[in-house]
Structure 1
C-alpha cells in the first residue's frame, strides 16, 4: 500500500485540487501535484523529484488497463468526429426539434439514457453527451447542467445496474470477507446484501431525476441556467470548454444528414462492449460469473474501435466523403482527444503518487481501534469520501477501504451481515468523492463530452452532491446507532432530500433575485420555439 509519509501525503492532491480551483488549468495543476509528491519522495531533491515524476507518468501510460482506456478515448474521438462531420448530429438536432417539446423532456431524456447506458461509467459520458450536447444548446440548457446529468448518472447507475463495476465490487468484497475470515457468506451474496446500503447512488439517481423534472436549481447551477436562459450562452463568458466540436472539427457536411449516422456507431459500440464483456468473462457461470471474469478494459477498447470503424465505413459507403477526407477526419478525431488523454494520464499518475506516499494508511490510522459502532458507518463514509476526493478514483478507494471496513465492522459487532453492509457505505463515499474531485477521470469525461468548462462543472455539481451526502450522513448515523433497515432509511432519506431541495431552491431564488428566471424556465419548459 506504499510507504507512510504521514501528513505530507496530503500535499500532492491538495496542491492539485487547490490549483485547479484557483487557476482553472487542470493539466498544469495535476502536474504540480505529481511533482510536489515526487520531490517529497526523493527527500526534497528537486532534480531527482522531477526525474521520478517522469517515470511515474510513463508507468501510468504503459499500464495495460490505462493504455487500453487511452485508446478507448482516442477511438471514441474518431467516432465522434465522423458522427459530426457526416451530419449525424445535425440530423439528430433536426429530428429533436420535431420530437422534443420542452426543456424538461430533454433533461429527462439525458437522465434516462444515462441509466440505460450504465454498462460502463465512461460509456455513459460518451454516449449520453454525444446524444444530448447539441440538443441542450438548442433548448437553452447549460453545459453545467448537462455535465451534471452525465456525471451523476454514470457511476451511481454503473454501481447498481449490470456493469463492469459489479465484478470489481465483488472482488473487493471477497478480499474483505477473506480478511475478516467470514466463510458463511459468498462474495456475490455479500454484494447483493450491500446494494441497499449504497445510499449515495440510490438517492443521487432519484435526485437527478427530480431536478431534471422540476427545473428547480440552486447555488451556482441556478446562475448557470439563468445565463443560458437569458443569453443562450451554453458556457460561461470566461469558460474554456474541454471539447468544442465546432471549433475543432469545423462545420458538418449537409450533404445527406441522417439520424442513422448518429445512431449506428453508438449501437455498434454498445453491442461490441456487451459482447466483449461476455467473451472475456465466458468462463464464469451466470451473469454475475461472467462479469466477475470479464476484462472490461478490453471490451471498452473493442467497442470504441467498432464505433470508429463504423464511422469510416459509413463515410465511404455513403460517398459523403472521399478517401482523403475520411482519413483526415480520422486523424482529427484523434487530435480531438489529445487534451483528454493528457489529463487522464496526469490524474492516474497523481493517484500513483498518493498511493506510494501512503495517503490511505495515514487516513486509516486516524480511525483508531476502539470505536462505538454507532459512529463507525459515518466514519467509514467520510474516510471514503476524503480518499476518493484526494485521489480522484472511486475504484482505488474501494480497493483501499473495502478490505479494511468489512473486518473492522466484523471485529466490532461480530455480525457478518452488518460487516458486509460496509461495502455499500464505502461505495457511497467513494462515488461522492469521485464526483466532487476535479482530478477524477469520470468527472473529466463528463466535462469533455458535455462540452463544459471542467471547473465550472465541478463547482456547480458539488452543492448537489453535498446535499445528498449530508442527508445520507444522517441515515448512516441512524443505522449505526439503531441498525434500522434500508427499507425504512431510504424512504426517510428521500423525504428529507426533497424537503431540503425545496428549501434550498427557494432560498437561492430569493438570494439571487431569480424569480423571473424561474418563471422563464417554466415558460421555456412549454416550448422553446
Structure 2
C-alpha cells in the first residue's frame, strides 16, 4: 500500500517538474515597426504546488506564421537561488503589416515536449509612418508660429497611428490618455508646482522692489551689454546642481538687469537655456548624475553578467561617467561658444537681427511676439514710493538656493542610507530627489518672503523696521511694504502669467509619450545603425540621440531609449574601451543637443517662460547656434576621435579653435557702424525674396562686402576683419566701438552701450514695452 502511494507521489512530482511556468506578456508596445528588430518581455507565473529541480533550464521560443523567429534559454533559478520571474527575448523580426499574432512557448526540455504558450496580437506599421508626427509638429510650428496648434496636431497624429488609424479613437486617446497621463505624472506635477511657486515668488520679489534693487547693484558692475551677458553666463555656473532651478532662477532674476541694458529677450533666453542642461549634464555633482550613472551602471552590469571582459573599462558607473566628460564635445563647446560670442560682441542669423532691434529700436521683443505676462508684469511693478532695496531680492533668492541645496543633500543622504551606500558626494547628489527639493525651497521661501515684506514699513520713501516701535508699545508709522493681500495678489499674478507656457509644457510631455508609442524611437535607431564600421558608431550615436531628443523633447527619455540599444552594441562591435566611452558620451551629448534646440523641450519652454520670451522666437534664434556647435562637435570631435586621429582633450581644443574661427568669420559685430548683416541672414533674405516673402524688420544694406575698406569707418571702428585691427595702437580698444560713428548722427538708429540716463529711467517701463 505504501509503495503505491510512493509511485503516485513520484508521478505527481514528475508531472510538476515537466510543467513549465505560465506566460504573461509585459510592457507590450502599442506599435511595432515592420522589418525592425524588437524584443519581448515575458513574466513567469508559477503554481504553488509545483516543484522544480535546482538545475532546470527554461527554454523559450517565439513563433510567427508557424515559423520560429527567436530562441532563448536561461537557468530557471537566478544567481540568488530564486525562481526567475521575467525573461527577455531579443532580436525578433517580423516582416508584415497591421495585426500580427506572435506566440511564445516555454518548456523545461529542449525538444518542447511539454509547453506553456501565450499569444499576443502586435500592431506593425511601416517605418516611414512613425515620422509623420514629429514632421507635422515642425511644419505646423514654423508655418503658423503657434506651438499649441502644432503640439495638438502632433499628438493627434501619433494617437491616430497608435489607434490603428481610427480618428475617433485617436481623438479620445489624446484627451483620456496622453493629456491625463502627462498631467498626472508625479514628476510632472512636481515641475508644475515648483514652477508656480517660484514664479509667484519672483512676482512678489518684483512687487517689493527687490528685483530692481538687484538691477541697481548689478548696474554698478555691468556697465555695458557685454558685461551684463558675462554676468548672466557666469551665474549659470553657480546654480549647477539642477537644470530647472538654473533656468527659473537665472531667467527671472537677471531679466530686469538685461532689460536695462537693452539685451534682447531672445539673447537672454539663449544664455539661460545654454547654461542649464550643458552645465548640469557634465557637473560631477548634480541632479542629473544619479540618472546618468544609473544608466551606465546598468549596462556595465549587464555586460558583466553576459561574461564580457570589459578590459580597459571601469566597472564603476561613476568612474565611466567621469571618463566621458572630456569627450562631451557638444555641451562643453556650447559653453565656450557662447562665452566667445559675448566677448567678441558678434552674432549671426536671427539672433543678430534680434540684438540689433533691441539695441537700436529699444524693442526687447518683436512686435508679433506672444509674450505671456505683460499685464501681469505691469501689475507686479512696485509703487512709485517703494524703495528699491537689493536685500528684498537677494535674501529670498539666496534662501531658495540654500534650501534647495540643503534638501538635495538631505534627500540624497536618506536614500543612500536606505540603499546601504556610502555617503559620498556622488551617491548623495546622485540619489537626491531634486524635484521635491525644488518644491520645498520655492514654497518655504515664498512664505518667508511674505512675512519679510509684511514686517517692513515705508515711511517717507524709506524702509524702517517696526520692532523698535513695538518694543516701546507704539504703532509703526507708514505702511507695510506689502500687505498679506498684496503678497497674495502678486503671487497669483506671477502664476497667471505662466498659464499658457505651462499648458505648452503639458502638451510637450504628452507628445513625447505619443511619439514614443508610435514607434519613432525604434525606427530612428534602426534606420541609422546597421552594419557599420565601429569607429563611426560615436558619430552615428550622436546623430540618433539628437534626432530622437529633438522629436520627443526629452533628453532623459532619449538616454533611457538608447542606452540598452546602443551601449552593448558598441562593445560587441568593437571590444574597444575608447569606442565604448565615446559612444556613451555621444548618447549623453546628443540628448542634450536635441533637448536644447527643440520647441517641445521642458527646459526650452521654461527658459522662454523665465525670460518672458516668445517660445518660437527663442527656438528660431537659438537653433542656428546649436546646429553650428553640433556640426563642430561631429567634424572635429566624435568623427576624428572615433577613428583615433587624436585624443578627446585634443579634440576639445580643436573644437574650441574651430568655434573661434567660425564666430569671427561667420558672425558680425552687433555694433557695426553700417549695420552690416552676416552671410546666413543675407542668404535667408535672398531665399525669402525668391519665395515671394520679405522681412520688413531690418533693411537689407546695400553694401555687404565685409572686406571693403572705408578710411573714416576704419579709424572709428575696431574689428578683426578690418585693417586697423592689426595696428598695435588699436589693440587697447579691440572690443569697443571707439570715437564717433554714423550712429551718433541719428540717435534713433542706435544708442551708446553704456548705461545712459534714458536707460536708467526706463527700468520701470521696460516690462510693458
Same fold at TM > 0.5: yes
Question: What do the CA deviations read for 1:127-170 (whole angstroms, capped 9, x no partner)?
Answer: 11122212112111111111110011111000112310111110
Counterpart selection for 1:304 from 438, 442, 449: 442
Structure with the higher strand share, 1 or 2: 2
Q: Secondary structure at the match of 1:15?
A: helix
Does 1:287 pair with 2:425? yes
Report the Cα distance in structure 2 between the residues aligned to 1:199 and 1:242, rounded to whole angstroms.
35
Report the Cα distance in structure 1 between the residues aligned to 2:430 and 2:223, rounded to whole angstroms.
42
Report the Cα distance in structure 1 between the residues aligned to 2:489 and 2:755, rounded to whole angstroms.
36
Question: What's the counterpart of residue 10 of structure 1?
Answer: 131
* CA apart distance, 1:316: 1.7
Q: Secondary structure at the match of 1:127?
A: helix
Report the Cα distance in structure 1 between the residues aligned to 2:452 and 2:494, rounded to whole angstroms.
15
Question: What's the counterpart of residue 541 of structure 2?
Answer: 380
Question: What's the counterpart of residue 36 of structure 1?
Answer: 157
Does 1:476 pair with 2:638? yes
Does 1:390 pair with 2:551? yes
Question: What's the counterpart of residue 288 of structure 2?
Answer: 165
Deviates most, 47-56 or 366-375: 366-375
The 1:244–1:210 alpha-carbon spacing in structure 2 relative to 1, beyond 3 Å, is farther
Deviates most, 105-114 or 274-283: 274-283
Counterpart selection for 2:379 from 245, 249, 254: 249
Contact 1:179 1:403 in 2 (8 A): no
Does 1:274 pair with 2:412? no
Question: What's the counterpart of residue 109 of structure 2?
Answer: none
Contact 1:243 1:449 in 2 (8 A): no
Does 1:528 pair with 2:747? no
- 1:444-463 correspondence to structure 2 within 5 Å: 444-463=605-624
Provide the aligned C-alpha RMSD in A.
2.2
Counterpart selection for 2:317 from 176, 181, 187: 187
Question: What's the counterpart of residue 64 of structure 1?
Answer: 186
Report the Cα distance in structure 2 between the residues aligned to 1:104 and 1:321, rounded to whole angstroms.
35
Question: What do the CA deviations read for 1:91-118 (whole angstroms, capped 9, x no partner)?
Answer: 2223333332111110100000111112
- 1:23-172 correspondence to structure 2 within 5 Å: 23-54=144-175, 55-161=177-283, 162-172=285-295
* CA apart distance, 1:246: 5.4
Question: What's the counterpart of residue 206 of structure 1?
Answer: 336
Question: What's the counterpart of residue 259 of structure 1?
Answer: 390
* Larger Rg computed on CA atoms: 2
* CA apart distance, 1:28: 2.5
Aligned length: 529
Question: What's the counterpart of residue 175 of structure 1?
Answer: 298
Does 1:316 pair with 2:457? no
Report the Cα distance in structure 2 between the residues aligned to 1:144 and 1:61, rounded to whole angstroms.
28
Question: What do the CA deviations read for 1:22-51 (whole angstroms, capped 9, x no partner)?
Answer: 222112221221112112211222221111
How does the TM-score come out when normalised to structure 2? 0.66
The 1:519–1:34 alpha-carbon spacing in structure 2 relative to 1, beyond 3 Å, is farther
Contact 2:137 2:151 in 1 (8 A): yes
* CA apart distance, 1:433: 0.8
Report the Cα distance in structure 2 between the residues aligned to 1:329 and 1:292, rounded to whole angstroms.
36
Report the Cα distance in structure 1 between the residues aligned to 2:717 and 2:332, rounded to whole angstroms.
27
The 1:128–1:518 alpha-carbon spacing in structure 2 relative to 1, beyond 3 Å, is farther
Question: What's the counterpart of residue 226 of structure 1?
Answer: 356
Structure 2 unaligned segments of length 5 or more: list them.
Answer: 1-26, 33-124, 457-479, 669-675, 683-699, 707-712, 720-734, 738-750, 757-769
How does the TM-score come out when normalised to structure 1? 0.95
* CA apart distance, 1:337: 2.4
Question: What's the counterpart of residue 405 of structure 1?
Answer: 566
Structure 1 unaligned segments of length 5 or more: list them.
Answer: none
Deviates most, 402-411 or 458-467: 402-411
Structure with the higher helix share, 1 or 2: 1
Question: What's the counterpart of residue 666 of structure 2?
Answer: 504
Contact 2:529 2:540 in 1 (8 A): no
